[in-house]
Structure 1
Amino acid sequence: MRRIAFALAVAGCAAVPAAAQDKTVNMKISLWVPTAHPLYPSTKAWAESIEKDSNGTIKSTLFPAEQLGKAFDHYDMARDGIADVTYINPGYQPGRFPVIAVGQIPFTFADAVKGTAALDSWYRKYAPAEMKETKFCFAFMHDPGTLHSRKKVVVPGDIKGMKIRPAHSTFAELVTMLGGTNVQASAPEARDMLERGVADGLAFPWGSMFLFGVEKHIKYSIDAPLYTTMFTYNINRRMYDGMSAAQKKVIDDHCTNEWAVKFAKPWADFEHAGIDKMKALHDHEVYKLTDAQIGEWRKTIEPLTAKWSDAVRKAGVDPDVAMKELKDAIAKNGAGF
């Protein structure tokens, strides 16, 4: 009888799902945007899905609004374990992530959702080398942003002499090329730059102008998809490596192209709605560019593509191959301008 009881007990233990026996992991997820930002509920839903699929063994705590560190530091925070999952703008660190920077070149993408599907599927080949100190989860972008300023800007030459807060390193290069001065500031710091008169223009997505209270300090906005910014979610390698096989699979199942698009969609809708809000302001002018003016902008940005090619080649990547692969992904998803 004892043998039978023991056998039944062993059989019962064997029937328990592997995930239920896993050690509990408590992930710290750091975002530098506030809770009012669309990324916060998207990240919360992502974390809740991970907890559910891991049978409660992977729990998360969200730290928004730069609680754990500045926006510029979020890649290093994931690398060093200050946070376990971080929201990263690779363009905040010029030259560090040259491959993904291609998406920052103006007029590359016209749609955030389709663009995210293209970008993420393309970058998965390059992320393990370019972001090797962390585990890459997925890449996405916001809805195309534009230049907002106190002075009306129509053609590239109008930027000469202006002080502009760029969205990322590529836009900063454009400002320098055109004789402007860059004022470096993360999105949460942008309003302060304008209030103090340190900057008189900025590259920003539309809805976020209102979220960060920036719209009160500018008068003109170009109605064109002038640029996009690339973002990634990255995971601390030591935490991931310390997980069980079952837990790793749950994380892998939440680091997919489908999840990248899920993150992009609510944010894209939020930013796009900001265009009409800006147009409704009585003391603000939102204006379109003519085909000739857009042609001037396109010609002006040609050196940016050449600079990207040089940087990528130095990093050991064939820029012609990478660009062709990206263009193929953009065409496949109908994401181009």
Structure 2
Amino acid sequence: MPPRKRILAAGVIAGLAALAVVPAMAQDKTINLKISLWAPPAHPLTPATQAWAADIEKASGGTIKTTVFPSEQLGKAFDHYDMARDGIADVTYVNPGYQPGRFPIIAAGQLPFQFGDAKKGTLALDEWYRKHAPTEMKDTKFCFAFIHDPGTLHGKKKIVVPEDLKGVKVRPAQSTIAEMVKLLGGTNVQASAPESRDALERGVADEIAFPWGSIFLYGIDKVVKYHLDAPLYSTVFTYSMNLNTYNAMSPAQKKVMDDHCTSEWAAKLSGPWNDFEAAGRAKAKALPGHEVYSLTAEQLSQWKTTLEPLRASWADAVKKAGGNPDEIAAELQAAIARHGAGI
């Protein structure tokens, strides 16, 4: 067959194949996905999730309908993993660190001074965790994992060296930071992100571990004065799905979900949030009456050395769960190196 005719024939076949998908999708039973977030509508994650959900609807030919529920409408932030497990929502925004000890493997991503770049770090984290999610989060369908732009300490007191946290009441971002606070002689005050300003305002907490942009989103800037300019930590998150919902889908619908549960989508969905958080650092520096301060090389080294027991503690938790911490940690570091995501 001449080249021109081969090209035309190939085009016709491709067109017929594309048309064949439409009736196949049209025959699928319509599924209505409830997607639950505990972030408010103004949070960058909300419109990004709505765009992700709209793309799912489009790719499914309208057979997968979606509704996004922000602001804890369907349940508290701490409960979002169980909400996906139990079918209270079909897809949920999960902070695994809100439940200390329950998800020890993914907690490797929360160790201090791990990530220097959130976008590259998300690609590394998601790529690494896909091997472990089916075991550690087996009662839900893992969609993807991501991190936010590195967060730090904001508070009423200037925290420069680790010993400055002794006796201080801290709202930790996640379980690893809570362990850090305990290690350094501070007291943990548990509060979800939406509850944090109230805890600081009432004096229940003195310091908070939070990303930069969100201190403005949640009004934290109104109740703190000092900001440590160091990539202290990142928090890991997942989008998790109800297994029954996923299993009830047709093969074509499952493919749509699988195509939207990738490392690339993890980075795309979290990208606007990471840009927002990174911009908050400059905004904080411009605040009158606030102090954004850096660490010397010696002070940074002191932090890293003092916090080394957190790695040993993480390794012990993984061993208890039946994992090999040396192998798991090496895999994560290799992924971080591949993506240039480290500090």
TM above 0.5, yes or no, is: yes
Residue of structure 1 equivalent to 2:321:
315
Residue of structure 2 equivalent to 1:135:
141
Are the counterparts in 1 of residues 48 and 270 from structure 2 also a CA contact under 8 Å?
Answer: no
- Measured against aligned partners, the alpha-carbon deviations of 1:210-256 in whole angstroms (never above 9, x if no partner) come to 00001111110011101000000000000100010100000000000
Displacement of 1:264 after TM fit?
2.1
Superposition map of 1:188-337 within 5 A: 188-337=194-343
Residue of structure 2 equivalent to 1:8:
none
After superposition, the CA RMSD in angstroms is 1.1
Percent identity, aligned pairs only, is 69
Displacement of 1:149 after TM fit?
1.1
Residue of structure 1 equivalent to 2:91:
85
Residue of structure 2 equivalent to 1:159:
165
C-alpha separation in 2, matches of 1:231 and 1:254: 16
Helix, strand or coil for the counterpart of 1:157? helix
Superposition map of 1:49-88 within 5 A: 49-88=55-94
TM-score normalised by the chain length of structure 2: 0.94
Are the counterparts in 2 of residues 140 and 263 from structure 1 also a CA contact under 8 Å?
Answer: no
Structure 1's 291 and 77: CA in aligned 2 closer, same or farther, altered over 3 A? same
C-alpha separation in 2, matches of 1:328 and 1:102: 13
Helix, strand or coil for the counterpart of 2:240? strand
Which amino acid letter does the alignment assign opposite residue 175 of structure 1? V
C-alpha separation in 2, matches of 1:17 and 1:288: 60
Helix, strand or coil for the counterpart of 2:204? coil
Structure 1's 23 and 147: CA in aligned 2 closer, same or farther, altered over 3 A? same
1:27 pairs, out of 33, 56, 60, with: 33
1:114 matches 2:96: no
Displacement of 1:170 after TM fit?
0.4
- Measured against aligned partners, the alpha-carbon deviations of 1:282-315 in whole angstroms (never above 9, x if no partner) come to 1000000000000010001110000111111111
C-alpha separation in 2, matches of 1:108 and 1:287: 20
Are the counterparts in 1 of residues 117 and 150 from structure 2 also a CA contact under 8 Å?
Answer: yes
**Bigger CA drift: 23-32 or 261-270?**
261-270
Give the gaps of 5 or more residues in structure 2: 1-18
Helix, strand or coil for the counterpart of 2:213? helix
C-alpha separation in 2, matches of 1:25 and 1:292: 56
C-alpha separation in 2, matches of 1:83 and 1:172: 28
Displacement of 1:15 after TM fit?
8.2
Which amino acid letter does the alignment assign opposite residue 184 of structure 2? L
C-alpha separation in 2, matches of 1:210 and 1:15: 46
TM-score normalised by the chain length of structure 1: 0.95
C-alpha separation in 2, matches of 1:247 and 1:263: 20
C-alpha separation in 1, matches of 2:21 and 2:157: 69
Residue of structure 2 equivalent to 1:41:
47
1:103 matches 2:100: no
Are the counterparts in 2 of residues 105 and 301 from structure 1 also a CA contact under 8 Å?
Answer: no
Are the counterparts in 2 of residues 28 and 62 from structure 1 also a CA contact under 8 Å?
Answer: yes
Helix, strand or coil for the counterpart of 2:153? strand
Are the counterparts in 2 of residues 37 and 211 from structure 1 also a CA contact under 8 Å?
Answer: yes
- Measured against aligned partners, the alpha-carbon deviations of 1:19-70 in whole angstroms (never above 9, x if no partner) come to 1100000000000000100100110011000000000000101110000000
Residue of structure 1 equivalent to 2:181:
175
Displacement of 1:16 after TM fit?
5.7
Displacement of 1:17 after TM fit?
2.5
Helix, strand or coil for the counterpart of 2:170? strand
